[in-house]
Amino acid sequence: MISAVEQEFAGAELGDARLTRRAMEIAVRWGASPAASFPKMTASEAELQGLYRFLENDSVEYEPLLAAHQAQTLRRIEDERRGVVLVLHDTTSFAFGGETPRDGMGWLGHDQQGCFAHFALAVSADGSRRPFGVVGLSVFMRDRPPRRAEKEKKKEVSKKERAANPDRESLRWGELIEETSQLLLGHAIPIHILDREAESYELLAAMIGKHRFIARARVLDRWVAGMEDDFTEHAKLRVLVERSVPVAERAVHLNRRRNAIFPSQNKKHPPRDARDAHLEVAATTIRMKRPDYLSEELPSTLDVNVVHVREVETPDGVEPVEWLLLTTEPIANAEDALRVVDNYRARWTIEEYFKAIKTGCSYETRQLESARALLVALALCIPIAWQMLLLRTQSRTDPDAPARTVLTEEQLDVLRTIARKPLPHTATARQVYYAIAALGGHLERNGPPGWQTLREGLDKLFFAEQVLAAQAAREM
């Protein structure tokens, strides 16, 4: 029987069955020690050299490996028989240190090599936010950023010129929406969840009438009108929405947000302490007017539903939470409006997935010499990070779910053997989560485990799984 992580790559079409087997072997090693360096995760010098030969093999690309994981993701979605899934879209950056340039790699800054990866992660729409896997990935590189004089020159480019640029990065949002919708066709109906960076009149026009979506508004001063008004009585989006009457309230817990590495990220998502927030929710329908700088080929107006979320009774000195959510989802009553809010809140799951790749799998520490090899390594760790996220998510959102929803029966048997304290045969997802974290040194009295203790516990679990499997093979 092959392991869960092997199964993710069993269908990889690499043009040679030997390469597929090697991919599965590497995934097992990496899954057994997600954060370990390549020399530490391999058992011998020969195995290490084989790993590097695979990653540096010019005939191996990341797309077939990703496609194999996508096929398994579709199978999981079909097994759930939910009908609707949330597809969370977001972009993250991967930074690779060292003085030696990586062949083909782009730049995050003048002295920092790296790339940007735009992900689409499928999760359950039933409120559990159970992750199914990655259904889309687009990687793009940037040249070294321009010097100050060049930046000033770029500022002179008009909005109309920028909107007409066929190579602008913002197009990736629409392209991945189309790609993932085609992939899911016949398997599930996607609701695309988009952050502020995605929101544009052009993208909204492409989605309305074709795709279901919830997108956080970025441009709050655009001109709009109420459905019973015309544009002789138009107003700014924020002003019009603020006139709407709250239809529901919701108490939510806001997690702590740390300082980001890049100042631009702090501006987008300011650091904050954890707190409980009291939210008021209002809903209305508006009509947007096409900006003058856009092509007349686009519709002159767009009708879209808006859900306005605003925090009330905010502590002194704290910036209140406020979201303007543009959506095709119904807003006929309070239940509809709250469903939109809850579905949008699932977007934070993809940020946790990025942490699983970066912290859980230590992806940015991988010492590889080319962008191509680094992308193959990314494809290999994608399902490993998904498995880690699945365990963490289930333990928090559905703690009483059966343990088999996050680990295989074989892995549960191993965990019962090595756990610090007895694990019940009817163990829940939460009990499994804490048992694994305890292997990594976590103490339950310290609260929910972090990525580091979870990662270290998984290292020990997966390593023990491989040792016991090898012993069983020798005894046969």
DSSP calls for 237-278: HHHHHHTSPEEEEEEEEEPPBPPPSSHHHHHHS--B--EEEE
The pLDDT assigned to 1 comes to 40
Average pLDDT over residues 26-46: 85
Split at pLDDT 50, 70, 90, the class of 224 is: confident
List the alpha helices (DSSP H) in 166-322. Answer: 171-184, 201-207, 237-242, 263-268
Q: Residue 325 in contact with residue 217, Cβ under 8 Å?
A: yes
pLDDT at residue 102 is higher than 60: yes
The pLDDT assigned to 223 comes to 66
Q: Which domains does the chain have, with CATH numbers?
A: 1-195+347-386 (no CATH), 221-326 (3.90.350.10), 399-476 (1.10.740.10)
The pLDDT assigned to 154 comes to 54
pLDDT at residue 370 is higher than 50: yes
Paired residues of 322 in beta bridges: 310
pLDDT at residue 21 is higher than 80: yes
Give the highest mean pLDDT range of 66-70, 168-172, 268-272, 455-459: 66-70
50-59 burial code (b ≥16 CB/10 A, e <16): ebeebbebee
| Continuous segment of H or E residues that includes residue 279 | strand 275-289
Handedness of CA 38, 40, 43, 45 (dihedral sign): positive
Rg value, the chain, Cα: 24
The pLDDT assigned to 213 comes to 97
pTM for the structure as a whole: 0.86
pLDDT at residue 174 is higher than 70: yes
- Measured CA to CA, the distance from residue 311 to residue 318 in angstroms comes to 11
* Surface-to-core class of residue 251, CB atoms within 10 Å of its CB (0-12 exposed, 13-18 middle, 19+ buried): exposed
Question: How many C-beta atoms lie closer than 10 Å to residue 290's C-beta?
Answer: 17
Report the C-alpha dihedral over residues 171, 136, 198, 305, rounded to 10 degrees.
Answer: 120
* Coil, strand or helix at 338: helix
- Measured CA to CA, the distance from residue 456 to residue 458 in angstroms comes to 5
Q: State the DSSP string of 112-170.
A: EEEEEEEEEEEEESSSS--EEEEEEEEEE--PPPPPHHHHHHHHTS-HHHHHT-TT-TT
More confident residue, 346 or 425: 346
Question: How many C-beta atoms lie closer than 10 Å to residue 268's C-beta?
Answer: 12
Q: State the DSSP string of 92-114.
A: EEEEE-SSSPPBT--EEETTEEE
Looking at every residue in the chain, the average pLDDT score rounds to 85
Length of the chain: 476
Token pair 């946790």 is found at 352
Cα 140 to its chain centre, rounded Å, is 16
| Continuous segment of H or E residues that includes residue 226 | strand 223-226
- Measured CA to CA, the distance from residue 17 to residue 186 in angstroms comes to 29
* Surface-to-core class of residue 167, CB atoms within 10 Å of its CB (0-12 exposed, 13-18 middle, 19+ buried): exposed
Please tell me the least confidently modeled range out of 165-169, 377-381, 464-468. 165-169
Q: Residue 141 in contact with residue 93, Cβ under 8 Å?
A: no
Average pLDDT over residues 309-328: 87
Split at pLDDT 50, 70, 90, the class of 92 is: very high
What are the two backbone dihedrals, phi and then psi, of residue 334, each rounded to the nearest 5 degrees?
Answer: -60, -40
